[in-house]
Amino acid sequence: MPVRRLVMDVDKAISEPDLVDLARIVEALPGVNAVNITVTEIDIETVGTNMTVEGDDIEVEALVRAIEHTGAVVHSFDEIVAGDYLLNGTPRSR
């Protein structure tokens, strides 16, 4: 079952990696078609981001290794879409 979308909470140091470089590294991975990185918070030493990665068959372990190789850290997977096509989630009412 191919993984088609991952939304992750990723933190990085203020100085490195540069967000453009991080996006280029992720986008170059096999199975990745697009990446979106949104800054969610900044403090003295770190930048918090939400990273969305979409593709035909994302290699999750390779993706995490590539992100961590840059010095960034994956804190959590907040959304995973897998299967034959992209499926948009429906908000649950409470």
Total of domains in the chain:
1
What pTM was computed for the model? 0.90
- Per residue in 17-48, pLDDT (tens digit) is 899 999 999 999 999 999 999 999 999 999 99
Confidence check: pLDDT of 90 > 80: no
Q: Could you tell me the CATH number of the domain that includes residue 53?
A: 3.30.70.1340
The residue segments making up the domain with residue 34 are 3-82
- Per residue in 67-78, pLDDT (tens digit) is 999 999 999 999
Confidence check: pLDDT of 92 > 80: no
In a domain, 91, yes or no: no
In a domain, 90, yes or no: no
Identify whether the C-beta of residue 86 lies closer than 8 Å to the C-beta of residue 4. yes
d(CA 55, CA 60): 11
In a domain, 48, yes or no: yes
Determine whether 52 is exposed, middle or buried from the number of CB atoms within 10 Å of its CB (0-12, 13-18, 19+): middle
- Per residue in 54-69, pLDDT (tens digit) is 999 999 999 999 999 9
